[in-house]
Amino acid sequence: MLLAIDVGNTNIVLGVFDGDRLVHSWRLTTLRERTSDELGILVTGLCEHHGVAPAAVTGIVMASVVPPLTGTLIAMARHYFDREPLTLDPGVNTGMPVLYDQPGDVGADRVVNGVAAFERYGRPAGQPVIVVDFGTATTFDAITAQGEYLGGVICPGVQISADALFQRAARLPRIDVRKTATVIGRNTVASMQAGLFWGYVDMVEGLVRRMRHELGEGALCVATGGLAATISAETDVIQHVDGELTLYGLRIVWERNQ
């Protein structure tokens, strides 16, 4: 069994694979001050609760964009699973050429998403791929028809934008981001929700169309992350929604390194 770990700024996402089948996945809040013992107890507890003995885990693969937690999780893997984890390094061990000016600057999770999206959707169709990840930041990644990571776009995440409105405008309240029945709001909360939600829908449509103009009009668009299903329901520019894209990418990269 393979334990895949994606360390993001908001969540740590974990998945257990039995062969190529994802059998369990969990989310933990990303807390930079957590120790390897705290994480070890949490992760082994989740595994055992779902019938996965830590000794049954024969490999661990990890992508991290939170440097303070990278070493902590490596120590956790060594102490609680007796395994040396494969830690992803973009442009070095992912099996995907990275055409960024500085390959080391691109987040490991973005390359992993690109690997999974290309193998699951782009390669079978013979098409380039655009990956939209609705995470802490909203990222757009371009994968060529040859399976190369070309580059992308980074935008503030929708929750970051909502928080910025609350923090910087004295009379605006803190709100939850949700779809509104109309674009024109009849009160302050509805107006803010409409701006955030429909503004993000239009942002996604506009950027995907512009990226297709550069990458190829036949480029497939794959969405992942928290708002992927919600946003994709309101636009026709997204062809696939894959909530576990990063975990599948980690499994593919693990296999490439064996």
The pLDDT tens digits for 167-197 are 888 788 888 888 999 999 999 999 999 999 9
Query: Measured between alpha carbons, how far is residue 170 from residues 87, 164, 185, 196 in Å?
Result: 44, 11, 19, 18
Nearest of 248, 209, 246, 200 to residue 227 by alpha carbon: 200
Kindly report the number of other CB atoms within 10 A of residue 97's CB atom: 14
The answer to whether 20 is a known catalytic residue is: no
The predicted model gives 135-141 an average pLDDT of: 93
Per the CB < 8 A criterion, the answer to whether 237 and 221 are in contact is yes
pLDDT at residue 159 tops 90: no
List, as one string, the DSSP characters of 138-184: EEEEEE-TTS-EEEEEEEE-HHHHHHHHHHH-TTPPP------S-SS
Q: Which of 20, 89, 101, 109 is an active site residue?
A: 109
| pLDDT-derived band at 166, boundaries 50, 70, 90 | confident
86, 137 contact by CB (below 8 A): no
- Collapsed DSSP state (helix, strand, coil) of residue 45: helix
Residue scoring higher pLDDT (28 or 162):
28
Contact present, 214 and 202 (Cβ < 8 Å):
no
The Cα diameter of the chain in Å comes to 58
pLDDT of residue 29: 93
Question: Domains (ranges, CATH) in the chain?
Answer: 2-87 (3.30.420.40), 103-245 (3.30.420.40)
Question: Residue 129 has which token pair?
Answer: 């791929």
- pLDDT tens-digit readout, 197-216: 999 999 999 999 999 999 99
95 contacts: CB under 8 Å, gap ≥ 6: 115, 252, 253, 256, 257
> What is the pLDDT of the chain when averaged over all its residues?
93
Assess contact for 25 and 34: CB atoms under 8 A.
no
Q: What is the mean pLDDT of residues 236-242?
A: 96
